[in-house]
Amino acid sequence: QVQLVESGGGLVQAGGSLRLSCASSGRTFGTYVVGWFRQAPGKEREFVARISRSGGSTYYADSVKGRFTISRDNAKNTVSLQMSSLKPEDTAVYYCVADPTGRFGTSASLYPYWGQGTQVTVSS
C-alpha cells in the first residue's frame, strides 16, 4: 500500500508562484509513475502533469505547459510541482497520484493511489 501526503498549498495572487510537495511512504517509490491531478469546484478531476520512474520524462496538460514543472527525488520519496505565473483558473484541490504499473497515461483511472489533496487558491 502506498500513502501519499501533499503539502504546500495556499492562497496566492495571480502571477505568483507556489511549490507543492508530495511525500510517499512506499519503499518502492522509484518504481512508480507519479503525477498530479486537480479538481476545481463543480468540475471533474483534471490531469496536470506526470513524471516517469527515473524522472527523465515528463508530460503536461496544455493548460499548464510552460508554467508548471514536475520533478521527483527518489532518494527522498518525494515529487514536487513548481507552479509559476498562476492564474485564477488554476484554483483547485491538487492531488498527488501514483501508478505502480508504470503506465504513462493521463486518465485518473490509471492511478490507484491518491493523496488527500491540498487546496490552491489564486486570487485575481
**Collapsed DSSP state (helix, strand, coil) of residue 101:** coil
CA dihedral sign of residues 46, 102, 99, 7: negative
Count how many Cα atoms sit within 13 Å of the Cα of residue 72 in the half-sphere of its side chain.
Answer: 27
N residues, the chain: 124
Nearest alpha-carbon partner for 117 in 61, 48, 36: 36
Contact of 33 with 39, CB cutoff 8 Å: no
Chunked into runs of 10 residues, the chain (124 residues) has average pLDDT values of 93 98 88 96 96 95 98 96 98 96 88 96 97
